[in-house]
Chain A
Amino acid sequence: MTKELEHSFVAQLEENQNIVHKICRLYTNDSESHNDLFQEITIQLWRAYPKFRGDSKFSTWMYRVALNTAITLYRKSKRMVQTQDYEGVSFKITAEAYDDTVEEQLKLMYKAVKNLNDIDKALVFLYLEDKSYREIAETLGISEVNARVKMNRIKEKLRKILNP
């Protein structure tokens, strides 16, 4: 039984691991912390897995546990470097949109998102993942209206950073 559970869990995590990587990328600044956080999220997911009933999609359930771990449970290691490595972030620009300024804008945008506080970052992350406001609100534990208002404010904030 445990073996079966383990197999199905690992298979699903393997398939959906990008979600976890994306969260690690947003909430940590170097590859060591990235791996640490990935490890902790895996443990938390595995612990919660026996209670996962499958009435929601594995990925939906995963967003919650992974974000909770990144924002609340994860204890940053002391060695964490404060300097952020944005240069490592590259964007694959599609041919028609290719333009140096677009790429530059994207980098700035990503930098601005990374500098948001933990909660705003979670909102933007779910937004980028194309989640509905209902889902965003449920994941954070706030009302849908408030999620919408907050998201508009963050957008405004980001716009100001990019177009001072």
Chain B
Amino acid sequence: MDELEVLKKEWQSREHEFPKLSSKEIYPMLLRKSSSLVKWIFYISIAELVLWTSLAFVAPESTKQINEAMGLRTTLLVVSIVGYVITFIFIYLFYKNYRSIKVTDSIKDLMSSILRTRKTVRYFVYYNIGAAILLLTFTNIFYYSKKETLYATFSKFSEDYAAIPPESFTTVFFTAQILAGVLLILLLVVFYRLVYGILLRRLKRNYKELKKIEV
């Protein structure tokens, strides 16, 4: 006889072995807080959206003055308006995807809606990193083309820069820019690998397993 059939027969008869919770014990359970994966993803995603959106506000006043002196004011204004519009689109998409996560869906649908939500936020982060790289590259190219004005402007705003002799200023300035940029991106990559690696490992593995059945 099929062993699984034997187990199936016994399966139902073992029910009395389980703890029997009374309704008195169930009531307080309704009030406790969930610690589900979706909740974690939701909080972390919100933190990411807030972090990247607020980074725009933390630029020091001197940066704005420098940009103004370099004649970049209008360009940067247009860039930031476009940036805000894109951010709002992302926030809307994130909210829409998040709302579509339903625990009453089939296992596969639930998994794919969680992954979709996560993907939106991941694209938002990629977009921000990409935009930051582009912006930095173009600003630096622009700076490079106006080396003399750049030195004059920076030595006016920062004593540290004023201390650097004019002939080595270009090398020091651009090396620092590149190093800081690379370091920041590396840190981000490690952070995301860690946070989402831990959070999504099981979900991704199970999703793959389900997909395999369909092949």
Contacts and interface: CB of A to CB of B under 8 A. Distances in A.
Chain A binding surface SS class: helix
Interface stretch (B30-38, B82-90, B183-191): B30-38
Interface string B20-63: 11110011011011111110100000000000000000000000
B36 A74 contact: yes
B206 interface: yes
Given A10-B26, A17-B21, A73-B36, A92 B10 contact: yes
Interface stretch (B106-114, B126-134, B148-156, B172-180): B106-114
A38 B199 CA distance: 21
Interface residues of B, number: 50
A106 B34 contact: no
Contact of A67 (B17, B20, B107): B107
Contacts of B40: 75
A106 B6 contact: yes
A75 B111 CA distance: 14
Given A10-B23, A124-B4, 16 more contacts: A18-B18, A22-B15, A46-B30, A61-B104, A68-B110, A72-B203, A73-B38, A74-B37, A75-B37, A91-B10, A94-B13, A105-B6, A106-B7, A155-B2, A159-B3, A162-B3
Interface of A: 6, 9-11, 13-14, 17-18, 21-22, 25, 39-40, 42-44, 46-48, 51-52, 61, 64-65, 67-69, 71-75, 90-94, 97, 102, 105-106, 109-110, 113, 117-120, 122, 124, 127-130, 138-143, 146-147, 149-150, 155, 158-159, 162
